[in-house]
Structure 1
């Protein structure tokens, strides 16, 4: 939708759809992680999740800079 948007309203709608999809994905991942980890290991599991997300953002930015 971003690539073919011909108005600001369409861009806003595309951003709304992207935001809802992102929020739904994050919610699903955290629920699955909480269910899959033992109660005494959840803090470590969520710490690893957040760390990997941060690493992915950093490496993705570096990768696109090089490309």
Structure 2
């Protein structure tokens, strides 16, 4: 656990001073690139009238479009 935001920022500044903006990664690290077409966020409420928002890519990967969905 990180005790405070200030600790996080100080650690990031120390790493940036040492490695720059592209720190080295171990050779055995792989990875995947996730390219989402949409994201949905829920904010639950006691009344079950949840607040749902969906962000989806516009035509041909354009700007994100925000939509409110039914609970």
Q: Is TM-score (shorter-chain normalized) higher than 0.5?
A: no
Between Structure 1 and Structure 2, whose CA radius of gyration is higher? 2
Structure richer in strand, relative to its length: 2
Structure richer in helix, relative to its length: 1
